[in-house]
Chains A and B, each alone.
Chain A
Amino acid sequence: MESPVKPGLSDNRDFIAGLLFALIGVLAVVLASDYPFGSTMWMGPGYFPTVLGGVLALFGIYLMIRGLRVAERIKGRWGWRPLGFITLSIVLFAATVERLGLVPALFAVLLVSSLAGRDFRLKDALVLTLVMTTIAVLIFPYGLRLPYPLFPGVLWTY
């Protein structure tokens, strides 16, 4: 409605949403076909997921058709930069917390997620990392006595 030019398919909000729902629905039906379906009286583990997947796919197809008829653009831009850095920071935490210990993992998540912001300032980010790491170490291993090594082999025991 906002612009006279029809948005392309990759920018068509409802079409994309519908496509996602339809794909997930079909995937669910396909995966659920491996589980015994049973009967309406004795429902197997495949019954409910198959029905749900089918319904989801139908909603998806409806949204795709509606998107083609009444095309609406996706509002704003995609925030790939914040999405990338935030996701990366979480993945780094997960990858390092058991191998390198809690402190390096906290450093990784705080520093890398800081990069996702628009007004990134290195000094601020470093101070924040130090302060929040200290707080987190005080709350979790010390306060809640969770047995997470701070560094490989270094446990806070008292």
Chain B
Amino acid sequence: MDVLSHLVLGFSVAFSLENLLYCFLGVLLGTLVGVLPGVGPLVTIAMLFPITFHLPAVPALIMLAGIYYGAQYGGSTTSILVNLPGETASAVTCIDGYQMARQGRAGPALATAALASFFAGCVGTLLIALFGPPLGEWALKFGAAEYFSLMLMGLVAAAVLTQGDPVKGLAMVVLGLLIGVAGTDVNSGMSRFTFGIPALSDGLGFTVVAVGLFAVAEIVANLESRDAREVFTSKVRNLMPTARDLRDSAWPAVRGTALGAVFGVLPGTGAALSSFASYMIEKKLARDPGRFGRGAIEGVAAPEAANNAAAQTAFIPMLTLGIPASATMALMLAAMMMQGIEPGPHVMVSNPDLFWGMIASMWIGNFLLVVLNLPLVGMWVRLLRVPYRWLFPSIIMFSCIGNYGVNNNPVDVYLVALVGVAGYVLAKLECEPAPLILGYVLGPLMEEYVRRALLLSRGDPTVFFTRPISLAFMIGTLFVLFIVIRPVLRPKTR
């Protein structure tokens, strides 16, 4: 068994004392920040990224992965206890989780969420180990044309399948691509869109974009509207779900995992889509659908399993093809590139310790989440009581130091303010930031691939349609576009 020997390698890397420590630290910090109300996984990763920046590649990525799970899980805790989802993926958990909390069953809801997530995480990790290598091997056959078409499909799908206006999503992708190509052009050495600012010669930093869009703009939007929220803090006593809870949530968790595992690989909001879909399926399958929305445990187990499975399998296209399926994965991808690793199928061959070590540490991270979270629920609950007026200045402060620390250059901090203002204005106009960050990360790669493809084809643009794999991706792109345009073409029935 090839997979087995790889996993042994992975675990030997992950089980080194140093890496275990970073995995633990990542999970802990991720949960700690992710549990804070109004702080989603994206903000958490963007904010904590500068801390990992000073580490070597393997521990840095292990820690980032830990932060990612921690933030994801922390978000569920907040959804259940405060009815305030940090991101769309955990919005569904709010519905029944919060009702359970209101009925004094916050403990079982949290425990079920943790166990369902753990199960989904284990399956997801196994799937990465099983499908990553063959997919990567297949991807080794890709030339520049295939990569360009694949990225195009990924970006179009991500833009169009996110919630909100598909046209704005596409515009945001293009804007992201433009921002991404700013800086020194690798082929000609020419500075593009730098406005004479030396700090921009390497382009707009990825932490600048991420923190500006997801921390600063988000905070301003939160401050502009104030929602009343009720925190169920005193009622988390009995953690253990009853035998009936476990029986009721077992199959929903399995179905949610299956659904999430499939959706997670697809570009766009895989995690959010799968958690909504799995909730709907459970509601359809339930003998008494009326219980949903009133504290049904299936309504917590299924979407939590789904979004965790999706969070896990989202790593497959990112690690093997170098294509991020979500904004969070785009951040992970950018983090890898900043560590000097060129993402794609070569990572498995050139850095097997990194690839397999990361997979093994994913499993360890998921395990740590359960071990860490159930006993520490009391602490997370106390964190939920932290008022927002203390939280947001602290987040802004960490964002400032973090971005200053990347290059020790105050210009980066000015740019954070600028991106923050732009991000807020765009959010007000209902333009989603997620497609922008995907375009931003893929911009330079896409330009490089389109150049190479057209050079090899001697300037013949049909190359994207004559090579079979590339053609398949192009058909996929058109298909996604067609789904979106169709309602426009149909006569309006409203």
A59 touches B190 (CB 8 A): no
A105 surroundings in chain B (CB, below 8 A)? 400
B178 touches A45 (CB 8 A): no
Q: Does any Cβ of B come within 8 Å of A116's Cβ?
A: yes
Q: Does any Cβ of A come within 8 Å of B428's Cβ?
A: yes
A74 surroundings in chain B (CB, below 8 A)? 428-429
Other-chain contact of B393, A83, A98, A132 (Cβ < 8 Å): A132
Given A41-B455, A90-B416, A136-B401, CB of A82 within 8 Å of CB of B171: no
SS class of chain B's interface: helix, strand, loop or mixed?
A: helix
A98 touches B392 (CB 8 A): no
Other-chain contact of B181, A49, A78, A79, A110 (Cβ < 8 Å): A49
A87 touches B420 (CB 8 A): yes
Given A90-B413, A136-B401, A146-B405, CB of A82 within 8 Å of CB of B224: yes
Q: How far is the CA of A17 from the CA of B170 in the complex (A)?
A: 13
Contact residues of B between 177 and 210, Cβ < 8 Å to A:
177-178, 181, 185, 187-188, 190, 192-193
Least distance between B450 CB and chain A CB atoms (Å): 7
A14 surroundings in chain B (CB, below 8 A)? 165, 429
A13 surroundings in chain B (CB, below 8 A)? 429-430
Given A39-B459, A89-B396, A118-B223, CB of A45 within 8 Å of CB of B417: no
Given A43-B454, A56-B178, CB of A79 within 8 Å of CB of B220: yes
Q: Does any Cβ of B come within 8 Å of A24's Cβ?
A: yes
Q: Does any Cβ of B come within 8 Å of A124's Cβ?
A: yes
A17 surroundings in chain B (CB, below 8 A)? 168, 171, 426, 429-431
B392 touches A90 (CB 8 A): no
Other-chain contact of A52, B177, B221, B225, B389 (Cβ < 8 Å): B177
A156 surroundings in chain B (CB, below 8 A)? none
Per the CB 8 Å criterion, the residue count for chain A at the interface is 71
A97 surroundings in chain B (CB, below 8 A)? 400, 404, 410, 413
Q: Does any Cβ of B come within 8 Å of A155's Cβ?
A: no
Given A21-B171, A39-B459, A59-B170, CB of A87 within 8 Å of CB of B178: no
A82 touches B394 (CB 8 A): no
Contact residues of A between 12 and 53, Cβ < 8 Å to B:
13-14, 16-17, 20-21, 24-25, 28, 31-32, 35-36, 39-45, 48-49, 52-53
Other-chain contact of A44, B188, B392, B414 (Cβ < 8 Å): B188
A45 surroundings in chain B (CB, below 8 A)? 185, 187-188, 190, 192
A68 surroundings in chain B (CB, below 8 A)? none
Per the CB 8 Å criterion, the residue count for chain B at the interface is 63
A118 touches B451 (CB 8 A): no
Nearest opposing residue in chain A for B51, CB measure: A144
B424 surroundings in chain A (CB, below 8 A)? 79, 83
Least distance between A138 CB and chain B CB atoms (Å): 12
Other-chain contact of B220, A36, A41, A83, A136 (Cβ < 8 Å): A83
B7 surroundings in chain A (CB, below 8 A)? none
Nearest opposing residue in chain A for B396, CB measure: A113
Q: Does any Cβ of A come within 8 Å of B388's Cβ?
A: yes
A106 touches B397 (CB 8 A): yes
B397 surroundings in chain A (CB, below 8 A)? 93, 106, 109-110, 113, 132, 136
Other-chain contact of A94, B178, B221, B223, B400 (Cβ < 8 Å): B400
Q: How far is the CA of A128 from the CA of B396 in the complex (A)?
A: 13
Given A52-B181, A114-B389, A116-B392, CB of A24 within 8 Å of CB of B175: yes
Q: Does any Cβ of A come within 8 Å of B377's Cβ?
A: no
Q: How far is the CA of A126 from the CA of B193 in the complex (A)?
A: 41
Least distance between A99 CB and chain B CB atoms (Å): 9
Q: How far is the CA of A117 from the CA of B225 in the complex (A)?
A: 10
B171 touches A94 (CB 8 A): no
B455 touches A86 (CB 8 A): no
Least distance between A116 CB and chain B CB atoms (Å): 6
Interface string of A56-85 (1 = CB under 8 A from B): 100110110010000000111111001100
A130 surroundings in chain B (CB, below 8 A)? none
A66 surroundings in chain B (CB, below 8 A)? 167
A94 touches B455 (CB 8 A): no
Other-chain contact of A76, B168, B224, B420 (Cβ < 8 Å): B224
Q: Does any Cβ of A come within 8 Å of B458's Cβ?
A: yes
B400 touches A93 (CB 8 A): yes
Other-chain contact of A82, B185, B188, B223, B390 (Cβ < 8 Å): B223
B413 touches A128 (CB 8 A): no
B192 surroundings in chain A (CB, below 8 A)? 31-32, 35, 45, 49
Nearest opposing residue in chain B for A22, CB measure: B171
Interface string of B430-472 (1 = CB under 8 A from A): 1100000000000000010011001100110100000000000
Other-chain contact of A49, B188, B193, B226 (Cβ < 8 Å): B193
A90 touches B417 (CB 8 A): yes
B193 surroundings in chain A (CB, below 8 A)? 28, 31, 49
Q: Which 3 interchain pairs have the tightest Cβ spacing?
A: A79-B224, A41-B459, A94-B413
Known pairs A43-B450, A90-B396. 9 more at Cβ < 8 A? A17-B429, A41-B459, A45-B188, A49-B193, A60-B171, A83-B220, A86-B223, A110-B394, A144-B54
Q: List 11 A-B contacts (CB under 8 A).
A: A36-B188, A43-B450, A45-B185, A52-B177, A75-B430, A89-B393, A94-B404, A109-B400, A113-B397, A116-B223, A121-B389
